[in-house]
């Protein structure tokens, strides 16, 4: 294997040499062994279990996350167990039937690894959202290079330490750093780039990947609407909405971004939302041990600017020194308000009302397609209408957030909210090429396809379905 650069080598040289060493290792074919992949997934699982306290502590340092929510990062183990039980079956060739005219012969689809992949992680779930795609890359037989978010430095360090202690760098490695490091990585030729983050940076990643004709998976975000119909259990709906919105201080890509509430039930829902906030965080949310903080001053300033001049129903308190923003409900928000022009990604929930569901659907469809759409309603006809009339990465009916933890469901966006999907088998497929194979024997060879073509056109028309 190629020796790695010395510690004082330039970043560009280190990355280039690291990539060469991974390409050399991939070329040996060792990563294609099912047993090799299984052992690496087992090692990854053991490493996460061993360092779970470090991971939770790091997320607390970066995001002020309560211990309970910190363990959401360790929830990646559930997906890892799911993948370990199934990936060998996913890797098997899949037979495809042949038309009569192609017989005798056999055809199949054979998954193969892509090669060396780049995983660029976000800051909001800084451990889980690099480990989840990593397990898919390993299960599919690839080498991987990980760039954690520098905005969550404590977790970035834990990721780097865990990976370096678990895998040789010519197989899986971590490159830490800021924007310049990311730019250097994006100049390299990878076989796939998996990016999780905001739409603006996603555009930069995609533009850079285009220069190398590198395929991308972009897990982005958007303004995920939550529509609340009249036919609901108000108290249960309110608790679920408040939990899904304010977990991790609203810094979740699938958090409900705004509420569209039927006007007949709005007053009752507002009372229930306020009660849920009181039950969850008490009279002084700033003192609650169960409320995370905003990740950076930059994000804090952006959020406080977004809710300026809005009608605050509950909350609105802020403290820049501790990056605290109270769980906030905004009433009577207009579609033209600044807070409705971009993903909020914070503990602020605008609330609007509707009378006619078709008008509400039109408003949703007038905006970029969201990563998630939520509908609270017992009305099955309305559920069907919402599913058929809107487009989003995913939908959850009568709950929020939890759709992302069903490993049999692909998770990803559409249009502005993302390209591609992952989780479970979808992750395996994202990091695989499905190679088509046709095998023919020599012992049977009809002359219908060969020149001269005289007197053969009628048979060809039958073959292609013209008669």
* pLDDT tier, 240 (very low <50, low <70, confident <90, very high otherwise): very high
Mark whether 396 and 428 lie in a shared domain.
no
Q: Looking at the annotation, which residues are catalytic? A: 219, 253
In DSSP terms, 324 is beta-bridged to 319
Tell me the C-alpha distance between 125 and 401, whole Å.
14
Find all residues with CB under 8 Å of 216, minimum gap 6, and list them: 192, 193, 194, 195, 205, 206, 209, 419, 420
Mark whether 82 and 125 lie in a shared domain.
yes
Mark whether 206 and 269 lie in a shared domain.
no
CATH code of the domain covering residue 213: 3.40.605.10
Residue 461 falls within a domain, yes or no?
no
* 4-13, 161-170, 444-453, range with greatest mean pLDDT: 161-170
- State pLDDT tens for residues 70-87: 999 999 999 999 999 999
- State pLDDT tens for residues 23-66: 999 999 999 999 999 999 999 999 999 999 999 999 999 999 99
Residue 379 falls within a domain, yes or no?
yes
Query: Where in the sequence is the domain holding 181, given as residue range(s)?
Result: 11-220+420-434
* pLDDT tier, 7 (very low <50, low <70, confident <90, very high otherwise): low
**b or e along 444-465 (b: 16 or more beta carbons within 10 Å of the residue's beta carbon)?**
eeeeeeeeeeeeeeeeeeebee
Q: Closest Cα to residue 415, out of 373, 369, 374? A: 369
- State pLDDT tens for residues 323-356: 999 999 999 899 999 999 999 999 999 999 999 9
Tell me what pLDDT residue 236 has: 98
Element (H, E) at 396: strand 394-397
Tell me the C-alpha distance between 292 and 306, whole Å.
19
- Matching residue, tokens 């690496």: 40
Residue 388 has pLDDT above 80, yes or no: yes
Residue 153 has pLDDT above 80, yes or no: yes
ω into residue 104 within 30 of 0, thus cis? Answer: yes
Residue 254 falls within a domain, yes or no?
yes
Mark whether 137 and 35 lie in a shared domain.
yes
pTM for the predicted model, two decimal places = 0.96
SS3 390: coil
- Chain centre to alpha carbon of residue 150: 18
Mark whether 198 and 245 lie in a shared domain.
no
Q: Closest Cα to residue 171, out of 299, 371, 19? A: 19
Mark whether 293 and 340 lie in a shared domain.
yes
Residue 162 has pLDDT above 90, yes or no: yes
> What average pLDDT is seen over the chain?
96
Residue 240 falls within a domain, yes or no?
yes
ω into residue 452 within 30 of 0, thus cis? Answer: yes
Mark whether 292 and 315 lie in a shared domain.
yes
Mark whether 341 and 366 lie in a shared domain.
yes
């Amino acid at each position: 294997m190629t020796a790695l650069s010395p510690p004082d080598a330039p970043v560009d040289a280190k990355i280039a040499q690291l990539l060469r060493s991974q390409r050399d290792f991939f070329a040996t074919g060792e990563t294609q062994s099912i047993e090799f992949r299984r052992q690496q997934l087992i090692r990854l699982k053991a490493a996460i279990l061993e360092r779970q306290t470090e991971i939770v502590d790091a997320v607390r340092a970066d995001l002020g996350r309560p211990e309970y929510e910190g363990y959401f990062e360790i929830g990646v183990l559930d997906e890892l167990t799911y993948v370990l039980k199934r990936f060998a079956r996913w890797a098997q060739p899949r037979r495809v039937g042949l038309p009569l005219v192609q017989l005798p012969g056999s055809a199949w689809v054979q998954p193969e690894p892509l090669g060396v992949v780049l995983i660029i992680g976000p800051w909001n779930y800084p451990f889980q959202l690099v480990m989840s795609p990593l397990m898919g890359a390993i299960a599919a037989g690839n080498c991987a290079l990980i760039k954690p978010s520098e905005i969550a430095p404590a977790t970035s360090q834990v990721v780097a330490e865990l990976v370096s202690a678990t895998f040789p760098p010519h197989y899986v490695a971590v490159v830490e750093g800021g924007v310049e490091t990311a730019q250097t990585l994006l100049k390299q030729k990878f076989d796939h780039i998996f990016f999780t983050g905001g739409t603006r940076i996603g555009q930069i990643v995609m533009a850079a990947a285009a220069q190398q004709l590198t395929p991308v998976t972009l897990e982005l975000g958007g303004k995920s609407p939550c529509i609340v119909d009249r036919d609901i259990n108000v108290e249960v709906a309110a608790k679920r909405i408040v939990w899904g919105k304010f977990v991790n201080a609203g810094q979740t890509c699938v958090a409900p971004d705004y509420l569209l509430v039927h006007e007949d039930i709005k007053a009752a829902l507002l009372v229930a939302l306020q009660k849920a906030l009181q039950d969850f965080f008490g009279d002084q949310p700033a003192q609650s041990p169960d409320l995370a903080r905003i990740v950076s001053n930059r994000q804090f300033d952006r959020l406080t600017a977004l809710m300026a001049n809005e009608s605050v129903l509950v909350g609105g308190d802020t403290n820049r020194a501790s990056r605290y923003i109270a769980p906030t409900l905004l009433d009577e928000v207009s579609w033209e308000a600044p807070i409705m022009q971009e993903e909020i990604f914070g503990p602020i929930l605008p609330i609007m009302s509707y009378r006619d569901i078709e008008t509400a659907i039109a408003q949703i469809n007038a905006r970029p397609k969201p990563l998630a759409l939520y509908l609270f309603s017992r009305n099955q006809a309305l559920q069907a209408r919402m599913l058929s009339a809107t487009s989003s990465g995913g939908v959850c009916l009568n709950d929020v957030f939890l759709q992302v933890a069903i490993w049999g469901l692909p998770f990803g966006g559409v249009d502005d909210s993302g390209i591609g999907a992952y989780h479970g088998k979808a992750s395996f497929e994202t990091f695989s090429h499905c190679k088509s194979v046709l095998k023919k024997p020599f012992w049977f060879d009809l002359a219908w396809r060969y020149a001269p073509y005289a007197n053969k056109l009628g048979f060809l028309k039958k073959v292609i379905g013209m008669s």
